[in-house]
Amino acid sequence: MTKLAPFALALSFTALIGCATPTPPPPEPTYSWADSREQRLSQIAAEQGYELQREGEMLRLIIPVDGNFHPKRTLLQPSGLVPLSKVAQALRHDGDSQYAVVGHSDTEGDSEVNRRLSLERAQAVASVLMLGGVSSQRMRLHSMGEFEPRADNSTDTGRALNRRVEIVLQPYPTSVAFAD
């Protein structure tokens, strides 16, 4: 039993030291620019039938043309105005962001007509955002026409997915320029 006593004493001493060493607190969570906006925009996207994609520090809010725009024109339908007004409310006081509003089309018809159509849809979305208080100084318009499809243009479903307007958000100022 005398041989175990020094071992027990050493074990007790080690346990005592272990208890006396404070455990460092967990690190404070860090939130990036995109983290602070993603939850709010995700909620709006889910409520309005939009899609939100995140690519690093860039957020892309995808607005389908079907159901938001007049089927044969570039005018927003009244049902498309309220959701965009909610987006504008979420973005209007955000001085740390810049925006690109990018129009897209499918491949049906003339490519120049599709480019113009996608630009006019982007302009309609940008107008609603600006009327809602979003700074035009930090907003750019782009028309991709039929040249950045998301889906196969040979199906009705694919063409519907390709007809869209995207609001691309990035930190302001950023060293990454929006693609023209």
CATH number of 50-180: 3.30.1330.60
Using 50, 70 and 90 to split pLDDT, how confident is the model at 87?
A: very high
- Tokens encoding 110: 């003339």
Judge whether residue 62 has pLDDT over 70. Answer: yes
pLDDT at 18: 52
More confident call, 45 vs 14: 45
Long-range CB pairs of 172-177, under 8 A, 24+ apart, other chains included: 172/95, 172/96, 172/97, 172/98, 172/138, 173/98, 174/98
pLDDT at 29: 61
> Of the ranges 11-20, 70-79, 85-94, 133-142, which one carries the lowest mean pLDDT score?
11-20
